[in-house]
Amino acid sequence: MADPKVAQKMPYVQEVKPGKYAWCACGESSAQPLCDGSHKGTEFKPLIVEITEEKKAAWCGCKHTSNKPFCDGSHSKL
């Protein structure tokens, strides 16, 4: 599998409301941290996550987290 593009070496911290979100796994989306369809034609697919309560989310920006789609600090090792 190809490596995803590092969108940024820090998380995208956002207030999120309950609902379904499509996290960009390829790193190419212009709507980071969410998918805009830029992965089409690649082996990447967005990760669909359901948020059940309003909260602050730290979405992974480097795309190398082992806690997808959320930041686990992996960007500090890149």
| Per-residue pLDDT tens digits for 3-22 | 999 999 999 999 999 999 99
CA–CA distance, 53 with 21 (Å, rounded to integer): 13
For residue 37, being part of any structural domain is answered with yes
* Element at 55 (helix H, strand E): strand 55-59
**pLDDT above 90: residue 41:** yes
Number of independent structural domains in the chain: 1
User: pLDDT value at position 46?
Assistant: 97
Within 10 A of 22 (CB to CB), how many other CB atoms are there? Answer: 18
Q: What is the mean pLDDT of the chain?
A: 96
Range of the domain at 63: 12-77
In a domain, 4, yes or no: no
User: What pTM was estimated for this model as a whole?
Assistant: 0.93
CA angle 72, 76, 78 (to 5 degrees): 110
1 in any annotated domain: no
